[in-house]
Amino acid sequence: MAKKYRIAWLPGDGVGKDVMEAAKIVLDRVELDAEYIHGDIGWDYWCKEGDAFPQRTIELLKNVDAAMFGAITSKPVKAAEKELQPALQGKGIVYRSPIVRMRQLFDLYICLRPCKAYPQNPLNYKEGIDMVVFRENTEDLYAGVEFNTVPDKLRDTLAELSPAFKAFKDLKSDEYAISCKINTRKGCERIIRAAFEFARKFKRKKVTVVHKANVVRATDGLFLETAKTVAKDFPDIAMDDANIDAMTMWLLKNPFNYDVLVAPNLYGDIISDLAAQMVGGLGFGCSGNIGTKLAVFEPSHGSAPKYAGLYKVNPIATILAAKMMLDWLGEADRARTIADAVAAVVREGKVRTYDMGGAATTIDMAKAIADKCQAAR
């Protein structure tokens, strides 16, 4: 009989495989009626095929209800080319991060990163922290418009149009590089609106807009101006704003001042890692990449190659990502069961992975959480 959901299952590289195996143990225990379909993605496929995100995986993602993703290893463009199989070298194939491509290709414009301190987690910076970061996920400095070698045509145009470019105009093409920060009004508006809608739905009190509009005037100015306009549609939600640099200090100084945060891509990446560190670090940072047709859930951490296959890392981030996926699918009871199970295991403190000061393996932790899920059902 056909299952209720088709879930793309993308372990990726390194510890991505370990933590996804752990998440599957928990999903099986809450008996989600799903077919999990493996998708090829990651470094092996780059080396073998010259594509870390093969077309067959893109096709798979067009035909699923949601996806779970582990982690990816990315290397700089030149180092990546050296690891291509010899027959593919010298053909001008350029490495691009598969997760960044996935976010753009499927327009997964929301990166939702809840940062909640589970009580009695020894890694909590302070008990009671509960923030949600909305990171714009498809544009900004991650737009992928970059020039390692700057073409003369681009140099001449910039010299003509931008007085600030005068300082760079006499450099040779290989003496500098350009990465474009591109923010659109539509891109700003939809992520900011998503943050306010979330705040309203979950009875959060305030949205803080993170930017650097006093210096990065065009793009961040657009982000802040758009936020002020969108906020008018949400008179029940307070809004404030802060520069990214000040924000990092204030977040540490008084995390309880913050509730929902919204930021362009790069600042959102930074601020969500900081916020994740305050509630337990890499082992607790989970992430949802959400669009209108597809959503992909993952731990915020990377592939940690030195721990790959050792079953050492904490799988809670991935298990919480699976919980986010269940919420997104409308499986609220199962999602709550997982959240409660994580809370109970953390609170009891009997099973702890190395980051939490214990010796439990990735799988020990998954089984402990799965057992709590089963007891609750």
Distances (CA, A) of 311 to 106, 163, 231: 31, 54, 45
User: Binding segment for ligand GGG among 93-101, 272-280, 333-341, 345-353 (CB under 6 A)?
Assistant: 93-101
CB of 96 vs ligand GGG, minimal distance in Å: 9
Output the smallest distance, CB 99 to ligand GGG, in A: 5
In the complex, what is the shortest distance from the CB of residue 121 to ligand GGG, in angstroms, rounded to a whole number?
A: 21
Long-range contacts of 99-103 (CB under 8 A, 24+ apart): 99/69, 99/72, 99/289, 99/298, 100/142, 100/144, 101/53, 102/53, 102/61, 102/69, 102/289, 102/296, 103/137, 103/138, 103/289, 103/296
In the complex, the smallest distance separating the C-beta of residue 301 from ligand GGG, rounded to whole angstroms, is: 6
Cβ proximity to ligand GGG: between 97 and 374 the closer is 97
Scanning 84-92, 114-122, 193-201, 301-309 for contacts with ligand GGG by CB under 6 A, the matching segment is: 301-309
Q: Which is nearer to ligand GGG, 255 or 299 (CB)?
A: 299
Q: Which is nearer to ligand GGG, 72 or 108 (CB)?
A: 72
Name 208's bridge partners: 240, 261
Contact 42, 271 (CB under 8 A): no
Beta partners for 339? none
Contact 258, 129 (CB under 8 A): no
Binding positions for ligand GGG, 218-247, rule CB under 6 A: none
Could you tell me the smallest distance in angstroms from the CB atom of residue 172 to ligand GGG? 29
Instruction: State CA 269 to chain mean position distance.
Output: 7
Instruction: Rule CB under 6 A: say whether 299 interacts with ligand GGG.
Output: yes
Burial class (CB in 10 A: 0-12, 13-18, 19+), 85: exposed
Of 66-74, 79-87, 124-132, 364-372, the segment contacting ligand GGG by CB under 6 A is 66-74
Residues in the chain: 377
97 forms part of the interface with ligand GGG (CB under 6 A): yes
Gap between the Cα atoms of 126 and 122, Å rounded:
10
CB of 71 to ligand GGG, least distance (A): 4
When binding is defined by CB under 6 A, the residue of 298, 304, 315, 352 that contacts ligand GGG is 298
**Which C-beta is closer to ligand GGG: that of 300 or that of 353?**
300
> 303-331 burial, b if ≥16 CB within 10 A, otherwise e?
bbeeebeebbbbbbbbbbbbbbbbbbbeb
Query: Mask 72-91, x = binds ligand GGG (CB under 6 A)?
Result: x-x-----------------
Dihedrals phi, psi of 139, to nearest 5 degrees? -135, -145
Stretch that binds ligand GGG, among 60-68, 92-100, 161-169, 360-368 (CB under 6 A): 92-100
> Among the candidate windows 30-38, 151-159, 215-223, 297-305, which touches ligand GGG by CB under 6 A?
297-305
Segment interacting with ligand GGG, rule: CB under 6 A, options 67-75, 122-130, 163-171, 195-203 = 67-75
Site for ligand GGG contains 302 (CB under 6 A): yes
Q: Is 99 in the site for ligand GGG (CB under 6 A)?
A: yes
335 counts as binding ligand GGG under rule CB under 6 A: no
342 binds ligand GGG per the rule CB under 6 A: no
Say how far residue 180 (Cα) sits from the centre of its chain: 21
Q: Are strands 295-299 and 286-290 parallel, antiparallel or unpaired?
A: antiparallel
Q: Which amino acid is at 229?
A: T
Residue 339 contacts ligand GGG per CB under 6 A? no
How far apart, in Å, are the Cα atoms of 288 and each of 8, 294, 326? 14, 10, 11
**Chain positions contacting ligand GGG, by CB under 6 A:** 71-72, 74, 97, 99-100, 298-303
